[in-house]
A and B are shown apart, each in its own frame.
Chain A
Amino acid sequence: MRFERLALERFGHFESLDLDLGGRAGLIVIHGPNEAGKTTLLRAIHGLLFGIDERSPYGFRFPYQAMAIHATLVDSAGQRLEVVRRKRRKDALLGHLRSEAGEVPLDEPRFGRYFGGVTPDLYRSVFGFTHTDLQQGAEVLQVAGLAELLGGGALGGGAETVRRVLGSLRDEADALFKSRGKNPPINRHLAQVRDTRAALRDATFQQPQYLALTQALRDACHTLATADAELADLRLRSARLHTLLAAFEDFHAHQRLVARLADPALATPLRPADAERAPPLIAELRGLQQRHQALEAELQRLEQRAAQHPVDHALLAESAVIERLVRRVETVARQRRELPREHARLERDHEALLAELTRLSPETARSNQPDRTATANNLSQTPADRAHLNLSQEPADRAQQDLPQEPSDRAHPSIAAITPAELEQVRLALSRWQRARQELQVLARGEADDESDLAALSTESAALAARIPDERGAALLAELEQVQAAHNELERGELELVRQDAELELALARLHPRPAAEALERLPLPSFAAVQDMQSRRLELDRERRDALDHLSQQTAELAAAEAELAQLADEDLPDPAQLAQARQRRDETWTLVRQQLLSKTGTDQRELFGAPGEAPSAARVRVADRRTLARGFERALADADLLADRLRADADRLAQRTALTHTAERARLALTRARERLAALAAAEQDWSAAWTNLWRPTGVPPAAPGPMLAWLGDAISLRDLAANRMRRARDLAPLRPLVVDFSARLRAHLGDPGSAWTALVGQLRAHERSAQTLRGRLEAAQARSAALTAALARTRTARGFLERDLQAAVADLQLRSTALGLAADLDPESAVQRLEALADLGERLAASDLQRAACEQARAALADFDAEVAALLARLAAARTTPGVHDLALRPTTPRDHAPEITTTHRDDLVPITLAPDECPEQRIEALSRALAEARAAASTHALASDEAAERRREQARLAAALSAARGEYEALLARAGVADEAALLAMSERTLLRAQLERSCADLDLRLARSLGEGQGRGAYETELLAARREALVSEQDALARAISGLDQRRLAAVEQKGRREHEAQQLGGDRAARLGAELEVIKTELEEQIDRYVLVHLAERVLDRVTDRYARENQPALLQYTSELLARITAGRHLRVVVQPETRSLAVVDNSGQLRLPADLSSGTREQLFLALRLAYILDYCDRSEPLPIILDDVLVNFDDTRAAACLAALRDAARATQVILLTCHRRVPDLALSVAPDTRILELHEAQHPRIQRPADA
């Protein structure tokens, strides 16, 4: 890759700098004074290739955003790269890559491909460096390792690989383990192993721990048992104390009571029960006496009250009758008012009905008249008369008079004969008659319609039958499908044939040479394989021919080259063996002289010995001379001989070369001859092929062209043949179809009578005809079916009409019969008869209703008379009762014997109500008065009864009191006798004493019981009592406190023991856990991982060391190309002062061999030479790199500072040579450098970089 143009915009102090670096390959020297911007230029090139530094120092004049570096580069493939570099984070590089193939955009990765593995740092240290870099490198040279210096030159392209592998192995090993690290996996796992081991130790439950645990458990159990026993004792004592304390008070109270009961003053003859009875008995006796007196007074008061209220017993005895009559009073009064009016109205209605009946049926009405009149008369009496009559007459008479009237229906039997059933039958007959008549009418209408329809249908059928065509059309239609298919096939086939004809014609026209179309089928075409075979043979021949020609031209070229070289060698001066012989002779002679001299101790003439070279020394003239001089002379002769021998050797080489060249030329000539022979053989083969080719095509009569086109032609011809055959087949298939279609068309035309129409129209017409004929036939069939149906219906109608007429006549006869039977005129038309009958029936019903009402009226009259009779009877009974004595006050007599006799009273009362009716008085009024008197009598009776009941009760109570009083008195007397006292007061005192003693005894017994409960019985109690008698309460309490404290302490001890036991038991139950097992497994896991990592580390580490050592040794043992380059360059730069660069295995470094053969380490060299060595190494590396990779331009900034003129010139010459491989740009501020460059390389381009302020480029005149 070379720069053609480099332009800086606003970079460093350059506002704009444009350098043309194109043109022929050669050294470019850019000269400029200090601060002209040479280093800026160098850094700009770095920036262009690898990007401008983040903190570039070249933004001091213009802002970063404005910086831009433009360049045009050309790569080794001749492609042109246009690149713009800006200082940006994104899209810093823009450009495109242009070649003959086109143009593509150039981005960072694509641009980066040019640098391969060259990083910015590597570029800076190898390809583009300053004098400072050179100096530093030269210093490093003294300490750097061999591999570093050689960079794997011995390994060729693999050096980078080895370096990379070494690096990766080292990285991997470091990542696995660091001797003082913490994080690498091995270090980490080691720590984990340590930790896990510790954890495992902690978690392991070992034998001593197990023994300790079981022992602790046993101890805890023992402690617990002891504490439990002790606690039981203490609790026993505590319970005893508790009992003693509880019984203490009771015990001493008991003792006191026993002492008190022993007092004799408390002894009495009375029993405690008697003592208790005495005071209440005395009080009871007094109370009874008082009560008896009070009852006596009460009884007297009650007797007085009963005497004040007398009772009317007769009236009370009739109370039920009176109450019943009172209930009827209101109804009777109303009936007495309304009955005559109702009777009159009914009679009037009856008359009206009879009149109606007469109108309807006069005979019936007449027969009823007299009875009706009598009844009406009977009813026309006044109520008062009737009442009077009823009351004064005997019931039997009344029954005779009030006989109910004859039922009214008996008076008109014809009406009653028309029962609803008969009437219903008459109605039924009527409705039958009416229905029959209606049906008859309908039937008559339907028959007429049917007849007219039938006539119309016959006419239509005839018309249709006339219009229907014959059957020929249908036959044609059946045939049509098949013929239609044939027709379509025919049309399609004909079209296809036409198309195939056209195709065939076209293909034939295209086929060149063109065979006859007719003969195509029979054309004997060669097989495809044969033609292909011929073609491949032809291709083979062509290829061989090309090869042969190539070979020929190559051999010709080789021969020419060899001959040219031979000619060149021939021109050169070849050595002369005679000269060599002469020189050897002279050496031998000199040697003989020397020997003689040495042996004879005589010297040789020095002057003769050192005569002009080439002149033979004369032995005779040799004189004795100084040995040293002789020796020098000998040496000189020897040197001459050697020189000549050397030259001879070189010349021999050249001779050998010439011989080799002659051989080469011979070989080339031989090969040339063979190539020509091969060509001739090929020509014969080609002729054979041509003949075969022509023979192949001869039968077809087609003049053959080249195999390629003929192959295509053959393909076409074969397909054409197939096409033609296909067409013929098709035509054959179609031939029989046409007559069929033509015949059918003729018949169709004849049928349709349309000779001119086309096929489609004909088919259409046929189908239309057939369709209409089909329709007509359908219609005719429908009409005939309908006509048949109508005829049948007509026949049915007529039959039905006959039946109906018969029905009608029967109905009329029946109706007439029925109306006559009901007494109607026989000639009445059926409807009027029914109306009349219905009116009669209605009248009958009304008459029956009227009779019912009249009967009810009669019943009411009878009830009225009954009432009056009952009143009269009541009054008579009452009157009788007044005249006999009553027993009203019987209930007041005392039931118990009394001091005074019972009082029997007989009352006759004048204030009672009268019991006879006044002549103008209504019975109802009398009944109401009686009712009032009855209420008063009842109130008086109830008061009397109450007083007598109460008096009886009091008397019974008085009797009971008297009995109790006597019993109490008896008891009192007995008590006094038992106590042996005379009066009430003494009895009471004695009773009191007795009671006190009884109470004391009860208390004593209670205490005794409680003591027995708390202390028990028997010996235990004895012990308790003894202790209680002896003990003091305070002593007992204090002992109890002490015991409580002891128990509490013991309880705590026991609790602790329980806890201890529980804990140990829990621990024992927890045993068998798996924590240690888990940790053991974990440890195993970590160890496994650790071992894996250690294995890997050992492997990688050893691999790195082995590779490093082997590579190093290999590099040393295989003299690398790099060293060769370096040696050559160093020898050249130092003008032969230092000859070679060699590897120094002991120090694993480089060493230099100078022209004196001495080996010198870099540290032994002058700084200038060291720089030169380093420069040589770099250039060697670059040359080596350019051999393998895309060349990159070299930029050197004043690297020749420490070089003297000779070495600088030599270095420039080396750079000039390097510039053939890649572009070399040398920046300098020294004037001598461009001059020197021009002197060693006249084609050097010198560019001037001017003043810093406004730098611009000036082309030198000589460039």
Chain B
Amino acid sequence: MITVVHAADLHIDSPLRGLGRLEGAPVDDLRLATRRAFVSLVDTCLEEQAALLVLAGDVFDGEWRDFNTGLFFVRELARLREVGTQVVMVRGNHDAESVLARHIPLPEHVFTFSVEAPETREYPRLGLAVHGQSYGARSVEDNLAEAYPARRRDLFNLGVLHTNAVASAEHGNYAPCTVAQLVRHGYDYWALGHVHRRMVLHRDPWVVYPGNLQGRHAHETGAKGCTILRLDGLRVDRVEEREVDVLRWAELVVSADAAVDMDDLLGQVRLGMQRALAEAGGRAVLARITIEGTTDLHATLAAEPAAVQAQVRALAAELGELWPEKIRFVTRPPLGEIGELYDLYQALRDELRGLAEDPAALARYSESLAPLVTAAAPFLGHRPDDPQRLIARLGDLESLLLARLGAAPPVPRASSIPHAASSTWAPGKGEDARPHEV
């Protein structure tokens, strides 16, 4: 029985994206998550006494230039040499542009497929023939799989390819090919990389995306890891998946439709968080929490989001290993809740609707953002006053304004004056009213 471990899209040292500072969160796990996941992968190889580790591209993140990362990679691979695990890898689109992938000397037990043409590496002792080709440039538009060598007789044929075989819109359409084509090629197992979600596209012959090793942002949710392939001679005995990630991302969408009050809503959020924690199997969880729906709580949520966010964070802290990455409110007020400023609300809505259709008017508003744009644009990679971005935010803007106006207390009425018959009374909302200057 021979064990082959198949992993892809390591993106070592690429940071977790969209994550602010999380109080009390395990800083090392967050910052070095991809490294730790890779260490975990190597540990898995050692545990399983794997004969071969297949890395199907995107070991490094393209923009990252710190050679320490490459040397870390080499050092970890060196652990495998001691137990005789061979390593084969292809360079993916990120590796193609990575200076690390080109200039780090790899140990002799690691074989990297050529950029020029597809080639075959045979391991007669293991009964394996591995075929593959690396990316020479970031953007490879050719169908590389077509040119892959023919199947070798009397060996288990394994194809390694970094490709978008499912036409995923989330990923660049590099080395496009189809599952049918791969199946026809006659290999026993296609070890694919590039798509970050685990997918078994075909069985017998197997066409497998193992997904990336570690979720890196809120859209890479769920368990992440590698695929373990057990060969019985020239036959696949079984294919297993193994989780090696150190952190989990989860997306919680909580409907506020049925929530009668804030406690109720927070209770639902808490339930969702508990579920996410249970699914993570003891790993720390980074959760994007979205509260949506039509609710009476809309005004409170829109006007004072920070307070509710703080409450949600406190709940998470109480539960332990869960940190909300973002807490968003996509709620609407129930109809007919608009008070005496109805006309003004209408005027506001009209204005905002007009802005969405009239970039010139929007530009007039955003002129005053110039100091911020000047100061921040060089660091952001985009302009804060970009009209498209602004138009996208108009909905939030309306929510904010309506909530603030709706949630604001009315001016004091004659009826709110104290009355001798009631010896105590609660402070009215009117006490907060601003002075009205003429």
Contacts and interface: CB of A to CB of B under 8 A. Distances in A.
A1088 interface: yes
A1103 interface: yes
Contact of A1077 (B19, B35, B355, B416): B35
Given A114-B417, A207-B67, A1089 B21 contact: yes
A77 B417 contact: yes
10 contacts: A99-B419, A101-B421, A102-B421, A113-B416, A157-B410, A159-B411, A207-B67, A1074-B32, A1088-B17, A1095-B384
Given A102-B421, A103-B420, A160-B436, 11 more contacts: A77-B417, A101-B421, A112-B431, A117-B411, A122-B436, A163-B434, A179-B375, A197-B379, A1088-B18, A1106-B348, A1189-B411
Contacts of A190: 375-376, 379
A207 B411 contact: no
A201 to B, nearest CB: 10
Contact of A1087 (B30, B103, B379, B438): B379
Contacts of A14: none
A1090 B68 contact: no
Nearest to B63: A1080
A1260 interface: no
A862 interface: no
A1074 B73 CA distance: 11
Contacts of A1073: 68, 72
A204 B434 CA distance: 54
A1102 B366 contact: yes
Contact of B68 (A148, A152, A1076): A1076
Interface stretch (B117-125, B140-148, B280-288, B338-346): B338-346
B390 A1098 contact: yes
B107 interface: no
B72 A1072 contact: yes
A1103 B355 CA distance: 12
The 6 closest A-B pairs by CB, nearest first: A116-B412, A117-B433, A179-B371, A1081-B31, A101-B421, A1072-B72
B344 A119 contact: no
Interface in B18-51: 18-21, 30-32, 35
A781 to B, nearest CB: 82
B19 A1084 contact: yes
Interface in A150-174: 151-152, 155-165, 167-169
B397 interface: yes
A1178 interface: yes
Given A97-B420, A1189-B411, A1091 B380 contact: yes
Give the residue among B17, B68, B397 with the most A Cβ atoms within 10 A: B68
B33 to A, nearest CB: 8
A204 B37 CA distance: 22
Nearest to A1109: B351
Contacts of A116: 411-412, 416, 430, 433
Interface in B402-438: 404-405, 408-414, 416-421, 423, 427-428, 430-438
Contacts of B13: 1074, 1076-1077, 1080
A118 B411 CA distance: 10
A1193 to B, nearest CB: 14
A75 B390 contact: no
Nearest to A214: B105
Nearest to A1076: B66
A1071 B68 contact: yes
A1111 interface: yes
Interface in A1096-1127: 1097-1103, 1105-1107, 1109-1111, 1113-1114, 1118
A101 B422 CA distance: 9
B266 interface: no
A179 B372 contact: yes
Contacts, number: 271
Nearest to B100: A207
B99 interface: yes
A1181 B436 CA distance: 10
A1105 B368 contact: yes
Contact of A126 (B341, B420, B438): B438
Contacts of B385: 1098
Give the residue among B66, B71, B423 with the most A Cβ atoms within 10 A: B66
B433 A165 contact: no
Contacts of B416: 113, 116
A1100 B21 CA distance: 22
A1081 to B, nearest CB: 4
Interface of A: 75-77, 79, 97-99, 101-104, 109-110, 112-114, 116-119, 121-122, 125-126, 148-149, 151-152, 155-165, 167-169, 177, 179, 186-187, 190, 193-194, 197, 203-207, 209-210, 1071-1078, 1080-1085, 1087-1092, 1094-1095, 1097-1103, 1105-1107, 1109-1111, 1113-1114, 1118, 1177-1178, 1181, 1185, 1188-1190
Given A165-B408, A179-B372, A1094-B376, A104 B396 contact: no
Contacts of B235: none
Question: What interface size band does chain B fall in?
Answer: 35 or more
Contacts of B19: 1084-1085, 1088
B401 A1107 contact: yes
A209 B430 contact: no
B64 interface: yes
A161 B338 CA distance: 14
Contacts of A161: 341, 405, 408-411
B68 A1098 contact: no
Interface string B357-377: 000000001101101100110
Given A162-B344, A1097-B372, A169 B430 contact: no
A427 B20 CA distance: 120
A1092 B18 CA distance: 9
Contacts of B423: 104
A1189 B410 CA distance: 11
Nearest to A137: B438
A1103 B401 contact: yes
B74 interface: yes
A187 B376 CA distance: 9
Contacts of B434: 117, 160, 163-164, 167
Contacts of A158: 339-341, 344, 405, 410
Contact of A1181 (B32, B64, B66, B438): B438
A159 B436 contact: yes
A1074 B13 CA distance: 8
Contact of A1071 (B67, B341, B432): B67
A77 to B, nearest CB: 7
Contact of B66 (A102, A148, A204): A204
A186 B377 CA distance: 12
Contact of B435 (A121, A204, A1084, A1190): A121
B364 to A, nearest CB: 9
Contacts of B69: 1072, 1076-1077
B259 interface: no
B356 interface: no
B16 interface: yes
A1071 B71 contact: yes
B347 interface: yes
B400 interface: yes
B358 to A, nearest CB: 13
Nearest to B105: A214
Contacts of A177: 371-372
A1102 B99 CA distance: 43
B340 A157 contact: yes
A76 B417 contact: yes
Nearest to B73: A1072
Given A79-B420, A207-B67, A1091-B380, A1190 B412 contact: yes
A1077 B393 contact: no
B75 interface: yes
A204 B343 contact: no
A210 B100 CA distance: 11
Given A161-B405, A1099-B400, A1111 B344 contact: yes
Contact of A163 (B20, B368, B384, B436): B436
